[in-house]
Amino acid sequence: MRVMGIESTAHTFGVGIVENGKIIANERDMYLSEKGGIVPTEAAEHHRKLANEVMRRALSRAGLSLEDIDLVGLSVGPGLPPCLKAGLDFAKSISDSIVEVNHCVAHIEIGRFVGKLKDPLTVYVSGGNTQIIAYAGGRYRIFGETLDIGLGNAYDKFARSIGLPMPGGPKVEELAKKGKYKELPYTVKGMSLVYAGLVTAAEKLAKRYRIEDACYSFQETALSMLAEVSERALAHTKKRELLLTGGVAANKRLREIMKAVAEEHGASFYVPDREYCGDNGAMIAITASLIGKAKKSEDVDIKPNWRADDVEVLWIKK
């Protein structure tokens, strides 16, 4: 079976193709605004303009035509409504039946697929999402999450405030290597994280100390908060695998910390290649192939607030 996956939840428009359980194409194009961040309507327009071209590249890479595709999967949420709508309109223009895919679940499934993982605790970190997720009782349960902004957005907001170009995360990480720690608020509420106050405090810190010190202090505090919640979830679930995925998983310091958390609890640690950490079409195709059940295109709609724990995970047998 040949499955095409379409991703358009935020800044990336991606098309991936899977054939009989093998990824044979994974093409994308990313919207970047001049001032950084995402302007949803502009990102949606980007997706509409580039959709056919990205699909053409994916089909060419796979050596296929659209007629060769047996199933189309679409990430219908969570995400930015204008971007989701752009993806929905495109998917309906090429297919009469569509598999609805949850974006967050797809990040887990691509990690499980490429890492050959069985039952991991997943630390999912992106611009808009920061969640600790594990399978239990027929669903992916959320054991911890941010109460305000995602870790990626926290990096970008802080970076913009100190005049760094976008994307801000890699720049903050690089400057942090030369910094020293200055105290910042550390806010963990049970299994929940709060990042907005940390960003504000780090902005003020940057006006009093070196930029390098502010970056180091911000990063160490933000990642330590995430590590605490992740470690508590790992101890509770007793999972033997720890998966780190999402766009922020490219951060090397975060990888170091999460690897240490896994080792402390006797769990293996895995991070997908960068191609599969960020938003991509292959993760949608993989998940659609697992779900298998398509709806008539007129019955498919976007779900901007669709949570991972709202999805019935029927493809995992316990």
Domain positions in the chain:
2-108+276-310, 119-273
**Torsion angle, alpha carbons of 189, 231, 275, 79, to 10:** -30
Distance CA 135, CA 122 (A): 9
- In this structure, what DSSP letter does residue 297 have? G
Distance CA 39, CA 44 (A): 9
Q: Is CATH 3.40.50.1100 what the domain over 119-273 is classified as, yes or no?
A: no
Residue 34 has pLDDT above 90, yes or no: no
Q: Render pLDDT for 57-105 as a digit per residue (tens, 0 to 9).
A: 999 999 999 999 999 999 999 999 999 999 999 999 999 999 999 999 9
Q: Tally helices (H) and strands (E) across the chain.
A: 10, 13
Tell me whether the CATH fold assigned to 2-108+276-310 matches the one assigned to 119-273.
yes
pLDDT of residue 36: 65
- From the list 1, 92, 11, the residue with the least C-alpha distance to 44 is 11
Was domain 2-108+276-310 assigned CATH 3.40.50.2000?
Answer: no
What rounded mean pLDDT belongs to the chain? 96
Residues 86 and 17: their CA atoms lie apart, in Å, by: 19
**Contact predicate 239/118, CB 8 Å:** no
Per the structure block, which two tokens stand in for 13? 């428009």
Nearest to 127 by CA among 241, 230, 33, 259: 33
Confidence of residue 318 (pLDDT cuts 50, 70, 90): low
Looking at residues 49-63, what average pLDDT do you find?
A: 98
In this structure, are residues 103 and 303 in contact, taking their beta carbons and an 8 Å threshold? no
| 295-296/130-136 β-pairing | unpaired
Which of 15-19, 31-35, 214-218, 298-302 shows the lowest mean pLDDT across its residues?
31-35
Instruction: Give the pLDDT band (50/70/90) at residue 166.
Output: confident
CB of 77 closer than 8 Å to CB of 85: no
Query: In percent, how much of the chain has pLDDT > 90?
Result: 94
Asked whether residue 317 carries a pLDDT value surpassing 90, the answer given is: no
Cα 263 from chain centre: 24
pLDDT tens profile 290-313: 999 999 999 999 999 999 999 999
Asked if omega into 167 is within 30° of 0 (cis), the reply is yes
Pick the more confident residue, 200 or 37. Answer: 200
What does the DSSP 8-state code read for residue 66?
G
Are the C-beta atoms of residues 290 and 61 closer than 8 Å to each other?
no
Give the span between the Cα atoms of 30 and 176, in whole angstroms.
26
Band of pLDDT at residue 253, cut at 50, 70 and 90? very high
User: So what's the pLDDT on residue 127?
Assistant: 87
- What's the pTM value of the predicted model, to 2 decimals? 0.95
Three-class secondary structure of residue 3 per DSSP: strand
Supply the Cα-derived Rg of the chain in whole angstroms: 19
Segment among 112-116, 179-183, 257-261, 313-317 with least mean pLDDT: 313-317
Strands 268-270 and 241-245: parallel
Q: What is the pLDDT of residue 35?
A: 67
Give the phi and the psi of residue 226 in degrees, each rounded to 5: -65, -40
Is residue 75 within 8 Å of residue 284, measured between CB atoms? yes
Tokens of 224: 């330590």
User: What pLDDT was estimated at residue 181?
Assistant: 97
Average pLDDT value for residue range 199-226: 98
As a whole number, mean pLDDT of residues 251-262 equals 98
**3-class secondary structure, 77:** strand
